[in-house]
Amino acid sequence: MEYQKALNLKDKNLHLLGKYENGARIDEIAIIPTNSESNELFMKEYFRTYSSEEISKLFFQEDVEVVAIFNKKISINGGPLFKTNVLRLKEIQITV
């Protein structure tokens, strides 16, 4: 997906913040690169800052996707990061 389309999708779905999917709370809606090398760089920086806003702008010329990040506090405390593409959410209403 192009960055601008992803930004529009993200903005339309900010209402998902604080909602639950399969018992997990959505804490952030983020734009991430789909390329595995770029995604690895993104995740490395994300784990340093826990803020996707500025990092995602670095990948504006790449194919990206919009993801819901769940239970962010778990990853901040050293646990894994749980995320899924917002288009795959099943329990809550997304806006496309």
Residue pLDDT, tens place only, 49-75: 988 999 999 999 999 999 999 999 888
Task: Give Cα separations from 76 to 46, 64, 68 (angstroms).
Answer: 10, 24, 16
Cα 64 from Cα 31, distance rounded (Å)? 6
Find the radius of gyration of the CA atoms of the chain: 13
Exposure b/e, 58-74, CB count within 10 A at least 16 = b: ebeeeebbbbbbbbbee
Closest CA to 12 of 87, 91, 90: 87
pLDDT of residue 93: 75
For the whole model, what pTM was predicted? Answer: 0.90
Domain ranges of the chain: 3-88
